[in-house]
Structure 1
């Protein structure tokens, strides 16, 4: 259910006019001055604020500045509805954070159209945030039992985005793979703790169970038709395939392996080798890169290895940034670092 619209004006006739235009379609709340407006914004968390400028006490500019300076209200869009019609007045309104500016006397058609447009943008933003929340939660869920990997998924996803960029992916697709890569091990939700946390080498039966996480992750993620989840599903299924066909679950080789999975495979192995795991200490960088180069043409696509080596300083900068993140940091804090 949409939160109400807050209308702020010191003239009752103006409040009545806006109520007549919007009251049939939206829940409305009203304020007569700046202090009432700020109190109402805190209490009701409105979806949108229609704000007069010339009022006794705090004017609309000051009210808008206060709202934008407060984390509780900074995201609420403000539309100025005012008799101040000069260009400088309008510029001042946008300067303090308003999203739109309507001149009195108001046109019902214009008010309705502007309100509808900005509420649509609010809804789209809310939907996008929910969408990102789902991605981050699935990424964290895949490592819920895998406690010794720290910020692995976030660091590895950043590596994948950087590698995708250097081999020519668009900025949009680089962002997509960085999100999709977060979910590459979603299937580990279904792997027993005793296998995930085993400090030594897995035996043959345990290894067969571990391999099932690729198909489990794919089954979970492929349920969505959204492009990022479709990419995540193919990465989950194929990031353990190898360039020479010796990987799992299906022994695909070469270009039969989706490029997204080839990129994540390299990013994933680099991160695993350079960080502490239950079964190993972090390897020195020289040893890691020797292993990566040795895997060119067998484990990894040679073109991607060459590209990875070419941006190694950037990769190490990413690693340093994420190594500085506390393992106990909240997922929301890690998210901000990844955006």
Structure 2
């Protein structure tokens, strides 16, 4: 690969000499300018691998040239050799402050010039190799991270499916309540990262039903008080299943599983939490889950009209539900309706998907 050497000097003799020396370096392509403005234009069009610039030039001296070059996006680390007289110490000091890398004294020593150019080009190549390696490693880390996230999401999906297979609900319910939960979080002003976590974690709300016996979970009629007590164990079972993870989405899933049956007035279960003692995630999912359960058909009941389910939320805001969450949900009613029909039960029947289930995108 060719290396680009840019030379700027208003002296035709010096320009010819340095161009000749640069051309003797293998794979070097020289770009000589007697006008610093034209040289700057060239730097904006391509990135040199080495720059040699004279200090004393009309219109623009070497200091100003270096300052402008260092401000260009891809030129902040390009090696720069400034050509000065031996006794210009202040000039050299200021040049170093501006970003000069090396100096050549006039009259130019041919051997010294050739060696300095070769050394700085070798340094430039090494820097480029390190940058390429760093970019490659960054890409590999990103790929590995994405693969882990995909496996994590797949595991969450399968865990959620496992719970739904044991419950007379549908894949549509998982999708709808998850998207309702994300929508509520958005309308409450939560950041996008939290919204995305809610979308992924909400489907794990009933994972604890795995631990409830079939004769209770699938009972078509009303549960006895003893059976109801047993059913109400599922939030704690879900919490135990998900507890102890370092993954943010699993931690949020554990919080949701444990708290989504708490009620705002403290009459819920399993811990009788009240008001804002209930984590926000639990308060959000309580609204999303109950609304979808009411507005969806079940073997033991027909679907409520969506307006009646909405009225139930409003009526019970402040008792069962967090008022802010209900208000956020109602404020996005057009999007609620769109979600309801986008994830229709007939298109998201979990019994029709023995290996994979519909999950929030």
> When the two structures are superposed, what TM-score results if normalisation uses the length of structure 1?
0.65
CA displacement, residues 32-54 of structure 1 (integer Å, 9 cap, x when unaligned): xxxxxxxxxxxxxxxxxxxxxxx
Distance (Å, rounded) in 2 between the aligned partners of 1:139 and 1:193 = 17
Q: How many residues matched?
A: 236
Aligned to 2:270: 249
Aligned to 1:304: 325
- CA positional deviation for 1:183: 0.5
Aligned to 1:281: 302
Q: Per the alignment, do residues 301 and 333 of structure 1 end up closer, same or farther by CA in structure 2, a change over 3 Å counting? A: closer
Distance (Å, rounded) in 2 between the aligned partners of 1:109 and 1:191 = 57
**Which one is further off, 110-119 or 266-275?**
110-119
**Which one is further off, 309-318 or 264-273?**
309-318
Q: Per the alignment, do residues 110 and 153 of structure 1 end up closer, same or farther by CA in structure 2, a change over 3 Å counting? A: same
Aligned to 1:182: 203
Aligned to 2:119: none
Distance (Å, rounded) in 2 between the aligned partners of 1:234 and 1:111 = 43
Aligned to 1:156: 177
Q: Per the alignment, do residues 168 and 110 of structure 1 end up closer, same or farther by CA in structure 2, a change over 3 Å counting? A: closer
- CA positional deviation for 1:109: 4.6
Q: Would you say the 8 A contact 1:198–1:278 is kept in 2?
A: no
Distance (Å, rounded) in 2 between the aligned partners of 1:258 and 1:275 = 26
Q: Would you say the 8 A contact 2:161–2:357 is kept in 1?
A: no
> When the two structures are superposed, what TM-score results if normalisation uses the length of structure 2?
0.61
Q: Supply the RMSD in Å over aligned alpha carbons.
A: 2.3
Aligned to 1:334: 358
Distance (Å, rounded) in 2 between the aligned partners of 1:257 and 1:192 = 28
Task: List runs of 5+ in structure 2 lacking aligned partners.
Answer: 1-44, 47-124
Aligned to 1:69: none
Distance (Å, rounded) in 2 between the aligned partners of 1:302 and 1:135 = 29
The answer to whether the aligner puts 1:221 opposite 2:242 as a matched pair is yes
Distance (Å, rounded) in 2 between the aligned partners of 1:199 and 1:129 = 37
Q: Would you say the 8 A contact 1:197–1:278 is kept in 2?
A: no
Q: Would you say the 8 A contact 1:146–1:196 is kept in 2?
A: yes
Q: Per the alignment, do residues 116 and 322 of structure 1 end up closer, same or farther by CA in structure 2, a change over 3 Å counting? A: same
- CA positional deviation for 1:333: 6.9
User: Counterparts in 2 of 1:1-339, with a 5 A limit?
Assistant: 109=130, 112-323=133-344, 325-327=347-349, 328-329=352-353, 334-335=358-359, 338-339=360-361
CA displacement, residues 135-159 of structure 1 (integer Å, 9 cap, x when unaligned): 1111112212114334211210000
Task: List runs of 5+ in structure 1 lacking aligned partners.
Answer: 1-85, 88-104
Distance (Å, rounded) in 1 between the aligned partners of 2:135 and 2:183 = 39
Q: Per the alignment, do residues 114 and 236 of structure 1 end up closer, same or farther by CA in structure 2, a change over 3 Å counting? A: same
Q: Would you say the 8 A contact 1:149–1:276 is kept in 2?
A: no
Aligned to 1:60: none
Q: Per the alignment, do residues 119 and 262 of structure 1 end up closer, same or farther by CA in structure 2, a change over 3 Å counting? A: same
- CA positional deviation for 1:241: 0.5
